[in-house]
C-alpha cells in the first residue's frame, strides 16, 4: 500500500484481508516480507519479542562504544506505519502448533494463521558447552551489545583500581573466540578502543598494553574469504596489536581464565563469536533440522512437508547455486523476505504459482580496523581503504531510516578525525576491588595522587 495510506483514515480502518498471514520475527527477512505484503494491501500480522528492527551488521560498534543503540534500531511500528493492512504485535512466540495452524505466545494467547512466515533468526551456539554462555556472551541483540560494552569498559575500570600489575594485565586481557567476520570486527574495534581512545583517559594503567586475543579453531581467519584476503586481515589485526591464534581450540574456560590447546591463559573478558544456532522455534515445526538447527526449505522457501509454512533468513537452510546452504547474511535475508512477500501476494491475489527464490550475491565484506576492510564478490576482490569506504557507504545505505543514515555518517566522520567514541557508558555497578596488600607504598601513593 502506498505511503500516503498512513494519512488516510479509511485506509487505517480497512479490515485485514483474508487469508491470515502471520510473520514471526521483525528482522531483515520478516520486515521485508511485511513491507511487500503491506504494499499489496494484504492482511498480515508481524509479531516480535522486541519492538524494534535491529541493524545487526553494526551491532559490534555498539558493543565497542563506537555507536549508540538508537543509531542502529528503528521501531517496527514506525517502519510499517504506512502499510495499513499490516498489524504489529509485541510478544514472544513459544509454541507452533502445525496441527491447529496456530501459535502460542508467552502470555498463553494464541494467533491463528493460514500462511506462516517463520523468520525468527538465530541465537548463539556453543557447540554443546552451554555453560560458557554466562562467561563468554555472544552478540545478537542490543542487550548483548550493552552487556559486552559494560564488560569491556568495567575491566579497564577495575584494572585502574588495583595495584597488582599481574591482576591489571589479566583484567585488560580480552579473548575473542571465533575468527569469522564478527570476531574479526570485534577484535579490531576493541584494539582501536584501547589503543586510541582509552589510552588518553586512564592514569594508573596503560590501555594501549591491553592484550587482545583472537582465537580461531580453523587454519585461518575469515574462512569464507579467499586466502589472500584472509592473510591481509590477519596482518592488519597484528598491526593493531591483536594476537591472532589460528588452529587453536578452546577446551575450557572460567571467569578469570581460558584453556586453549592445552595451556591456560589468564583473561579478564571473554567474548563469543564462534558459532550460531537457529532459533529453537525451528524445531517446533516437527521436521528434521540440520546441525545448526535450521529448517530445510524448497526452492520456494516453503518448509518441506508443511504446506503454507515458510522459513527465511538465518533460520532457513536454503540451498544456493552450488547446492550448499546460503550463508546467514543480511543481504540473503532481505532478498528472501522481499521475494517471498511478492511471490505470496501474487499467489493469493491472482492464483499464480509460487516462484523459486534466486539469490543474487552482492559480495561479502568485513571491516578489519581503521580505514581497512576486505571485500569479495566472485573473483573480484579489494582490500584496504577503498574496501572500507565501500563498506561504509553500503552499510549507511542499508540502515532503516534517513535520520540514522545522517547520524551514523556524522559519528563515523567525527570518530575518524578525532579517534573519539562517545557511547562509553557502563550500565552495571563496578564490582568491589580487593584492598591492596600492605607494603607497596609506591604503588598506593601513585594511586591516591591521581597523577598524569
Alpha-carbon dihedral angle through residues 258, 261, 262, 263, given to the nearest 10 degrees: -50
> 312 with 337: CB under 8 angstroms?
yes
Cell numbers describing residue 341: 512477500
Longest Cα–Cα distance in the chain:
85
> 67 with 41: CB under 8 angstroms?
no
d(CA 333, CA 64): 25
As beta bridge partners, residue 258 has: 253, 265
d(CA 277, CA 304): 20
Cell numbers describing residue 264: 591456560
d(CA 37, CA 32): 9
Cα-to-chain-centroid distance, residue 190: 16
Residues with active-site annotation: 185
Which 8-state DSSP code applies to residue 215?
E
Strands across the sheet with 257-260, in order?
A: 250-254, 257-260, 263-266
Task: Report the candidate in 186, 107, 106, 175 with the shortest Cα–Cα distance to residue 144.
Answer: 186
Amino acid at each position: 500500500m502506498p505511503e500516503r495510506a498512513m494519512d488516510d483514515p479509511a485506509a487505517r480502518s480497512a479490515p485485514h484481508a483474508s487469508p491470515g498471514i502471520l510473520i514471526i520475527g521483525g528482522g531483515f527477512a520478516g520486515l521485508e516480507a511485511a513491507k511487500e505484503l503491506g504494499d499489496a494491501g494484504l492482511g498480515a500480522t508481524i509479531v516480535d519479542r522486541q519492538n524494534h528492527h535491529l541493524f545487526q551488521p553494526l551491532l559490534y560498534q555498539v558493543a565497542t562504544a563506537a555507536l549508540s543503540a538508537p543509531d542502529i534500531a528503528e521501531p517496527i511500528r514506525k517502519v510499517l506505519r504506512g502499510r495499513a493492512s499490516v498489524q504489529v504485535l509485541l510478544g514472544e512466540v513459544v509454541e507452533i502448533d502445525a496441527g491447529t495452524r496456530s501459535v502460542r505466545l508467552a502470555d498463553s494467547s494464541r494467533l491463528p494463521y493460514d500462511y506462516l512466515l517463520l523468520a525468527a533468526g538465530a541465537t548463539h551456539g556453543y557447540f554443546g558447552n552451554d555453560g560458557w554462555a554466562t562467561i563468554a556472551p555472544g552478540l545478537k541483540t542490543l542487550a548483548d551489545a550493552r552487556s559486552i560494552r559494560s564488560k569491556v569498559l568495567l575491566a579497564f575500570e577495575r584494572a585502574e583500581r588495583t595495584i597488582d600489575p599481574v591482576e591489571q594485565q589479566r583484567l585488560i586481557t580480552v579473548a575473542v573466540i571465533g575468527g569469522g567476520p564478527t570476531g574479526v570486527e570485534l577484535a579490531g574495534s576493541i584494539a582501536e578502543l584501547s589503543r586510541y581512545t582509552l589510552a588518553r583517559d586512564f592514569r594508573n594503567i596503560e590501555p594501549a598494553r591491553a592484550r587482545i586475543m583472537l582465537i580461531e579453531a580453523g587454519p585461518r581467519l575469515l574462512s569464507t574469504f579467499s586466502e589472500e584476503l584472509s592473510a591481509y586481515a590477519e596482518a592488519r589485526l597484528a598491526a593493531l596489536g591483536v594476537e591472532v591464534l589460528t588452529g587453536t581450540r578452546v577446551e575450557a574456560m572460567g571467569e578469570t581464565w581460558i584453556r586453549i590447546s592445552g595451556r591456560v591463559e589468564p583473561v579478564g573478558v571473554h567474548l563469543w563469536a564462534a558459532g550460531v544456532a537457529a532459533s529453537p522455534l525451528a524445531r517446533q515445526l516437527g521436521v528434521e533440522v540440520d546441525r545448526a538447527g535450521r529448517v530445510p526449505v524448497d526452492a520456494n522457501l516453503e518448509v518441506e512437508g508443511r504446506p503454507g509454512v515458510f522459513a527465511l533468513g538465518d533460520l532457513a537452510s536454503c540451498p544456493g547455486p552450488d547446492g550448499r546452504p546460503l550463508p546467514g547474511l543480511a543481504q540473503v535475508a532481505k532478498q528472501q523476505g522481499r521475494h517471498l512477500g511478492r511471490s505470496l501476494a501474487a499467489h493469493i491475489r491472482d492464483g499464480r504459482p509460487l516462484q523459486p527464490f534466486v539469490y543474487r550475491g552482492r559480495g561479502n565484506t568485513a571491516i578489519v580496523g581503521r580505514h581497512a576492510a576486505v571485500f569479495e564478490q566472485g573473483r573480484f576482490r579489494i582490500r584496504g581503504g577503498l574496501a572500507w569506504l565501500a563498506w561504509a557507504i553500503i552499510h549507511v545505505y542499508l540502515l532503516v531510516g534517513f535520520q540514522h543514515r545522517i547520524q551514523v555518517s556524522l559519528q563515523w566522520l567525527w570518530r575518524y578525525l578525532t579517534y573519539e567514541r562517545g557511547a562509553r557508558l557502563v550500565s552495571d555497578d563496578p564490582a568491589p576491588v580487593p584492598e591492596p596488600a600492605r607494603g607497596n607504598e609506591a604503588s598506593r601513593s601513585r594511586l591516591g595522587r591521581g597523577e598524569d
